[in-house]
Chains A and B, each alone.
Chain A
Amino acid sequence: MNKKLKKSIEYFFLILLACIFIFPLLWMIVSSMKPEAEIYLDMGSVQSLLPSLDVSQWFLTYKELFSRFDIPQYVINSIIYAVTITVGSIVVNAMAGFAFAKFEFRGKKLLFGVLLVLLIVPVETIIITQFTVAHTLGILNTRLAVVLPMIGNMFFIYLFSNFFKAVPDEIIESVKLDGANNWIVFWKIVLPMSKPAVATVGILSFIASWNDYLWPLMVLTDTDKFPLQVAITNINTTQPVYTNQVMAILTISTIPLIIVYILAQKYILQGLGGSGTGIK
């Protein structure tokens, strides 16, 4: 009996904690599925955590939101940015990692040391001069400006380099004897043998670029180039502001991430030390 009571108390706490972590997410989703007036009518009652009782209301908010803003455009923009940055950072950083792992060349130690020092530079503090560089290059308000600064990443180079070192030199040598050049070795041997590293880098940079806000906000002025994160604050400040529509755009921008997290569970943890702590 005593044991049963203890177990019940334990479950009570676990469930209470689960509620604290889940209810904001739940409120976000259900508030996007009811008319504006109902949100405030329900506030604080059990119904505030349930969608509208009238099922025909569930997707009306989304219809209204889509008629006021070009949501598909924002979604497409976000996908373009995230996919380009992801593919770009896999290829570019893997190439650099390959050079560090499998070549002996002049300046290697110095260069690697410089990269390690760069790991310490807090990127967020140099956004202003990054902006003046983009200005000088004449790429402000282009998609290129959103994508380019996000590709090169010291942590990813380091990660790839560590992974590539494990590829046996004998394999590379034997392929080279068959007449393959470095480029073929990289694409056909080294990269395919390092799938976990590719997956880790791919997922981390997809999440980081999907969530990026400050930089696109700074360099873009045309709304039709906005990614979802910037569109959110734009919608949240464009009068008239409707709570249910804001919750709808929050939900829309979160769905792809939910899918990525479910598909990529086992790679998420490896991001520690890179971009992945709660406070980004």
Chain B
Amino acid sequence: MNTNKRETLAAYSFLAPALILLGTFLVIPALMAIYYAFTDYYLLTPDQRQFVGLQNFIEIFKDPIFIQSLKNIVLFVAFVIPIQVGAALGLALLINKPRKGNIFFKVAYFSPVVLSLVVISVLWLYLLNPSEGLINSLLANIGIEAQPFLSSPKQAMLTIVFVSAWQGAGYQMLIFLAGLQNIPSTVYEAGKIDGVNKWQNFFYITLPLLKPTSVLIMITTLISAFKLIIQPMVMTQGGPMNSTMTPVYYIYQSGFSDRMIGYSSAMTVIFGIIIGIVTLLQSRLTKEDDI
């Protein structure tokens, strides 16, 4: 055996476990989803599976719940990105100034991050209970009338936006903080000599130098926000009136609860392509910005 062949063999023996696992639980399911998308596969009658061409795709775009779920996720993303990222940046700027007790504030703002999505969903379900929850009791203390929150089609998604931002902001605050501390103090000193004021300092020095950090944070938030499922699943089951139904949740429901594998797979393909495109566009954007 020549050395080249031997090295290839050795390399593949090290790669084998990862390749087998990724192949079985990622590549094969992804390919299966693409194949099933063109069939009428119903979980209970796998033998009667038939090729139906584009039938599923045609039906999906006539499915009001799927259309609604796309609108819902766009709404969620449009609100959660500015709120969560904005809050994270604001908190980082507040914390960045040296002062007594900063470590306490840092830990406090970060604390929701340690809770799992299931825990925050169940916890806020109780806090937001319209008739006997803590939030409405607190609002009553300051004279605001009780809000329906999750039981109102108008408020439910925005409530989930708030809960998600509350949970995630602390983590991104730390990333912003790292970005802020990477800005050399000499830059600010130079600004001082030029006589810039506080606002100019922020808009012309801090913000531009934070751009790579901000873009990175926005992309990762965007991509994970698109895949929202746990919060609506635990808090609202997609209701009221499908106002919190999301694409991934609908894929889960039609594939797992309704057992329509074919139909669900077609949605996987469509939504997978959407997320894939967004990821690619965004990663190209960061590459240009980094250099």
Complex CA–CA separation, A96 to B22 (angstroms): 11
Chain A binding site: helix, strand, loop or mixed by DSSP? Answer: helix
- In the complex, the answer to whether B216 meets A272 with C-beta atoms within 8 Å is yes
- Decide if A75 is an interface residue (CB 8 Å cutoff): no
Could you say which residues of chain B place their CB within 8 Å of the CB of A152? 17-18, 21-22, 25-26
Question: Which of these binds chain A: B53-61, B133-141, B148-156, B193-201?
Answer: B133-141
Question: Which of these binds chain A: B63-71, B168-176, B183-191, B202-210?
Answer: B168-176
Complex CA–CA separation, A111 to B132 (angstroms): 56
Could you say which residues of chain B place their CB within 8 Å of the CB of A25? 111-112, 115
- Decide if A124 is an interface residue (CB 8 Å cutoff): yes
- In the complex, the answer to whether A118 meets B127 with C-beta atoms within 8 Å is no
Closest residue of A by beta carbon distance from B216: A272
- Decide if B255 is an interface residue (CB 8 Å cutoff): yes
A129 contact from B18, B33, B104, B122, Cβ within 8 A: B33
Could you say which residues of chain A place their CB within 8 Å of the CB of B280? 120
Complex CA–CA separation, A229 to B233 (angstroms): 13
A98 contact from B14, B228, B248, Cβ within 8 A: B14
Chain B binding site: helix, strand, loop or mixed by DSSP? Answer: helix
Those of B1-56 within 8 Å (CB) of chain A? 4, 7-8, 10-12, 14-15, 17-19, 21-22, 24-30, 32-33, 36, 43
- In the complex, the answer to whether A232 meets B14 with C-beta atoms within 8 Å is no
- Decide if A253 is an interface residue (CB 8 Å cutoff): yes
Could you say which residues of chain B place their CB within 8 Å of the CB of A118? 22, 26-27
Those of B237-291 within 8 Å (CB) of chain A? 247-248, 251-252, 255-256, 261, 264-265, 268, 271-272, 275-276, 279-280
A131 contact from B101, B138, B256, B272, Cβ within 8 A: B256
Closest residue of B by beta carbon distance from A182: B10
- In the complex, the answer to whether B234 meets A233 with C-beta atoms within 8 Å is yes
Question: Given A125-B268, A151-B21, A213-B116, A182 and B29 touching (CB < 8 A)?
Answer: no
- Decide if B80 is an interface residue (CB 8 Å cutoff): yes
Question: Which of B28, B114, B122 neighbours the largest number of chain A CB atoms within 10 Å of its CB?
Answer: B114
Complex CA–CA separation, A258 to B116 (angstroms): 11
Could you say which residues of chain A place their CB within 8 Å of the CB of B4? 104
- Chain A interface size band reads 35 or more
Binary CB contact string for chain A from 87 to 123 against chain B (1 if under 8 A, 0 otherwise)? 0000111011011000111101001000100101111
- In the complex, the answer to whether A17 meets B7 with C-beta atoms within 8 Å is no
- In the complex, the answer to whether A99 meets B116 with C-beta atoms within 8 Å is no
Instruction: Name the distance in Å between B144's Cβ and chain A's nearest Cβ.
Output: 12
- In the complex, the answer to whether B272 meets A122 with C-beta atoms within 8 Å is yes
A-B contact pairs, 29 of them (CB 8 A): A11-B101, A17-B109, A18-B105, A20-B166, A24-B166, A27-B123, A27-B134, A44-B134, A95-B15, A96-B19, A103-B14, A105-B7, A121-B26, A121-B30, A122-B276, A128-B268, A129-B36, A129-B261, A130-B25, A132-B29, A132-B261, A211-B116, A247-B126, A253-B116, A254-B115, A261-B113, A261-B114, A273-B216, A278-B113
Please list the residues of chain B having a beta carbon within 8 angstroms of any beta carbon in chain A.
4, 7-8, 10-12, 14-15, 17-19, 21-22, 24-30, 32-33, 36, 43, 80, 84, 91, 94, 99, 101, 104-105, 108-109, 111-120, 122-124, 126-127, 132-134, 137-138, 140-141, 164-172, 174-175, 178, 216-217, 220-221, 223-230, 233-234, 247-248, 251-252, 255-256, 261, 264-265, 268, 271-272, 275-276, 279-280
* Extra A-B contacts (10), CB below 8 Å, given A152-B21, A277-B221: A24-B112, A24-B124, A40-B132, A130-B29, A253-B119, A254-B115, A269-B174, A272-B220, A278-B169, A279-B225
Please list the residues of chain A having a beta carbon within 8 angstroms of any beta carbon in chain B.
10-11, 13-14, 17-18, 20-25, 27-28, 40, 43-44, 48, 91-93, 95-96, 98-99, 103-106, 108, 111, 115, 118, 120-133, 137, 148-149, 151-152, 154, 157, 182, 186, 210-211, 213-214, 218, 229, 232-233, 236, 243, 246-247, 250, 253-254, 257-258, 261, 268-269, 272-273, 276-280
